[in-house]
Amino acid sequence: MHITIIGCGYVGLTTAVSLAYMGRCVHVIDQNEERIQMLRRSQPPIHEKGLEELLNQTNGRLTFGTWDSFEIKTDVVIIAVGTPSKENGDADLSYVEAVARELGQRLTPQVCDKSTSAPVIVNKSTVPIGSARRVQSIISQHLKERNIVTSISVASNPEFLREGVALHDTFYPDRIVIGSEDTQAAYTLREMYAPILEQTFSAPEFLPRPENYLLPAFIITSPTSAELIKYAANTFLAMKISYINEIAGLSEKVGADIQEVARGIGLDKRIGSQFLNAGIGWGGSCFPKDVQALIHTGEQYGYAMPLSQSAIDVNYRQREEVIKKLQSALKVLRGRTIGLLGLAFKPGTDDLRDAPAITIAERLIELGVHVKAYDPIAMENCRHIHPNLAIEYVSSSTELVNGIDALILITEWNEFIHLPYKLYGEKMRQKVILDGRNALNSQALRDAGFTYIGVGK
Ligand SMILES: NC(=O)c1ccc[n+]([C@@H]2O[C@H](COP(=O)([O-])OP(=O)(O)OC[C@H]3O[C@@H](n4cnc5c(N)ncnc54)[C@H](O)[C@@H]3O)[C@@H](O)[C@H]2O)c1
Ligand SMILES: O=c1ccn([C@@H]2O[C@H](COP(=O)(O)OP(=O)(O)O[C@H]3O[C@H](CO)[C@@H](O)[C@H](O)[C@H]3O)[C@@H](O)[C@H]2O)c(=O)[nH]1
């Protein structure tokens, strides 16, 4: 089976590498030549655990190129380009539409002839309802202009991987959702995913099959349902985090401990214990834009979505809370030096899209604070994306703590959990630590003389 994937970002590249590892012939197309050149040298352009190892285990089945290399003899074309937020919260479909136009101009009569079948087109990008139809209509219109008469099938196949564990999630998903009204197209996609659905591949050494892993569900829905499933899933997860953060705020008022509360409610199987870690809230490339896009869809139908909106409001209040807690601990912030431990929106990635660290750094700088920061991998990205943000980047956590008035744990990187905090305290001007992820040993820190501030404790 031949697969073409458009877009070599987190989703496109992870899917490509995984399917090639499992025996599919995969060609990846991206308009970014620099990325393609890197990939041809087996260097992933994004930071994702295991990608580099796996890139070298595809035995020539994985190739890369720009649009000029588009190969018409392909069974499936997967669209995996970005769908960022527009100003009004709607998803910006311009990249997806640009791909549809390219496809409409490149699919040839031979491929579209009735004797051969046209490839199944798949929307893997997160797209609003109606997008499968929109892509289909753009492609068909261009084919018609070229006097090619054929029916093109566009399926929706939302992606649920998480950054940092993208390969794990692709090899061992909970479910694969195909939104299509074309049985043949759904069958082709089932075939494409067969190694994952049946778990017939031999697991890479660094990515063993989790114990008790159950085969993923395969769900065929209408394209609209599939498109909505993606937004509804992300909004539900974001809401779950905002909910526990709301309860964390109340816990602080009444003297409860949010970790005890979360454990107590998470043991109810109907609730589940995942995504109940209270902290400075969610960020990243997906939750913020997807919750907004869902609300925007509601608005287009005159349908208010107050729960989803509250998830956003509570989330941004969490970032403000950090400033309030520092004001309460240090009283005057102007003239202070504060260290940020971590910048990425979560561990395992260098992604800084809507990262809480950026909002918090901006606010502190606005209030006259000198902000220092250390992150094991996201600093370069931060310098690049936010060149005007007056952060002093340092090369280690040891350097970070020198002369600071407070330390904020922003990203719970593993290496930050067991740092020699006692020793660090001696280098700090004031022993104040704000644990934004409730990840540190609060008792040990208090015993070492720190003023420890958690979330919901
Ligand atoms: N990042 C995630 O964890 C994740 C998870 C699930 C779903 N998604 C969704 O998947 C989609 C892709 O996300 P991502 O994070 O992989 O994006 P990304 O920004 O990392 O990568 C997108 C790639 O597409 C390329 N591209 C854009 N327009 C193109 C065009 N016309 N032709 C060829 N290449 C083009 C870009 O150069 C880039 O390399 C989005 O809709 C996102 O919401 C992302
Ligand atoms: O209990 C928790 C869990 C997560 N987070 C935060 O939530 C954000 C998102 O985390 P996570 O979901 O692990 O990362 P993403 O890579 O953004 O993955 C989400 O977004 C993807 C893109 O749509 C989806 O595919 C995934 O299923 C969905 O989990 C991060 O800022 C985390 O710090 C918390 O604050 N508390």
pLDDT in tens, 73-88: 899 999 999 999 999 9
SS3 label, residue 17: helix
pLDDT at 71: 85
| Predicted confidence band of residue 112 (pLDDT cuts 50, 70, 90) | low
**Ligand 2 in reach of 346 Cβ (< 6 A):** yes
pLDDT mean over 110-119: 66
The mean pLDDT of the chain is 96
Distance 63 CA to ligand 2 centre (A): 30
- 281 is known to lie in a ligand binding site: no
| Predicted confidence band of residue 385 (pLDDT cuts 50, 70, 90) | very high
Contact present, 202 and 255 (Cβ < 8 Å): no
Distance 173 CA to ligand 2 centre (A): 15
Numbered ranges of CATH 3.40.50.720 in the chain: 2-221, 287-453
**Test site for ligand 1: of 4, 30, 122, 139, most ligand atoms within 8 A of the Cβ:** 30
pLDDT at 110: 64
pLDDT in tens, 115-147: 556 899 999 999 999 999 999 999 999 999 998
**Ligand 2 in reach of 125 Cβ (< 6 A):** no
Which atom of ligand 1 sits closest to the CA of residue 95?
28
pLDDT in tens, 325-363: 999 999 999 999 999 999 999 999 999 999 999 999 999
- 423 is known to lie in a ligand binding site: no
Distance 52 CA to ligand 2 centre (A): 23
Distance 382 CA to ligand 2 centre (A): 20
Q: How large is the ipTM?
A: 0.98
DSSP alpha helix (H) spans, 331-456: 356-366, 379-385, 397-401, 414-417, 421-427, 442-447
Which atom of ligand 1 sits closest to the CA of residue 98?
31
φ and ψ at residue 372, rounded to 5 degrees: -110, 155
Among 70, 16, 66, 446, CA closest to 192: 16
Q: How far apart (Å, rounded) are the C-alpha atoms in residues 108 and 97? A: 19
Distance 355 CA to ligand 2 centre (A): 11
**Ligand 1 in reach of 180 Cβ (< 6 A):** no
- 170 is known to lie in a ligand binding site: no
List the structure tokens of 380.
Answer: 């370069």
Among 135, 134, 193, CA closest to 6: 135
- 253 is known to lie in a ligand binding site: no
pLDDT at 116: 59
Residue 215 predicted with pLDDT over 80 = yes
Distance 33 CA to ligand 1 centre (A): 15
**Ligand 2 in reach of 428 Cβ (< 6 A):** no
pTM reported for the whole predicted model: 0.96
Q: How far apart (Å, rounded) are the C-alpha atoms in residues 415 and 188? A: 44
**Edge-to-edge order in the sheet of strand 25-29:** 62-65, 25-29, 2-6, 76-79, 120-123, 154-156, 175-179, 217-221
Residue 446, number of CB atoms within 10 A of its CB: 13
pLDDT mean over 27-44: 97
The residue whose C-alpha atom lies closest to atom 22 belonging to ligand 2 is: 286
Residue 114 predicted with pLDDT over 60 = no
Which atom of ligand 1 sits closest to the CA of residue 285?
1
Q: How far apart (Å, rounded) are the C-alpha atoms in residues 10 and 33? A: 17
Mean pLDDT: which of 105-114, 117-126, 266-275 is highest?
266-275
Q: How far apart (Å, rounded) are the C-alpha atoms in residues 133 and 116? A: 23
pLDDT at 151: 84
φ and ψ at residue 371, rounded to 5 degrees: -105, 125
Which atom of ligand 2 sits closest to the CA of residue 241?
36
CATH tag for 287-453 (out of 3.10.20.600, 3.90.1150.10, 3.40.50.300, 3.40.50.720): 3.40.50.720
Contact present, 392 and 372 (Cβ < 8 Å): yes
The residue whose C-alpha atom lies closest to atom 2 belonging to ligand 2 is: 275
**Test site for ligand 1: of 5, 8, 10, most ligand atoms within 8 A of the Cβ:** 10
**Test site for ligand 2: of 85, 241, 274, most ligand atoms within 8 A of the Cβ:** 241
* Residues ≥6 apart with Cβ < 8 Å to 56: 42
pLDDT at 13: 98
The residue whose C-alpha atom lies closest to atom 11 belonging to ligand 2 is: 162
Which atom of ligand 1 sits closest to the CA of residue 127?
41
User: What are the DSSP E strand ranges found in 81-209?
Assistant: 120-123, 154-156, 175-179
Residue 155 predicted with pLDDT over 60 = yes
User: For the chain, what percentages of helix, strand and coil (3-state, to nearest 5) are there?
Assistant: 45, 15, 45
Among 145, 170, 16, 168, CA closest to 79: 16
pLDDT at 432: 98
> Can you identify the CATH homologous superfamily of domain 2-221?
NAD(P)-binding Rossmann-like Domain (3.40.50.720)
| Predicted confidence band of residue 111 (pLDDT cuts 50, 70, 90) | low
Contact present, 218 and 178 (Cβ < 8 Å): yes
pLDDT in tens, 412-456: 999 999 999 999 999 999 999 999 999 999 999 999 999 999 999
Distance 282 CA to ligand 2 centre (A): 7
Q: How far apart (Å, rounded) are the C-alpha atoms in residues 153 and 149? A: 13
DSSP alpha helix (H) spans, 194-257: 194-198, 223-254
Q: Which ligand is nearest to the CA of 13?
A: 1
Q: How far apart (Å, rounded) are the C-alpha atoms in residues 192 and 407? A: 49
The residue whose C-alpha atom lies closest to atom 1 belonging to ligand 2 is: 275
pLDDT at 183: 96
The residue whose C-alpha atom lies closest to atom 18 belonging to ligand 2 is: 162
pLDDT at 264: 98
**Ligand 2 in reach of 44 Cβ (< 6 A):** no
| Predicted confidence band of residue 113 (pLDDT cuts 50, 70, 90) | low
pLDDT mean over 45-55: 94
| Predicted confidence band of residue 367 (pLDDT cuts 50, 70, 90) | very high
pLDDT at 148: 87
pLDDT at 245: 98
φ and ψ at residue 447, rounded to 5 degrees: -60, -30
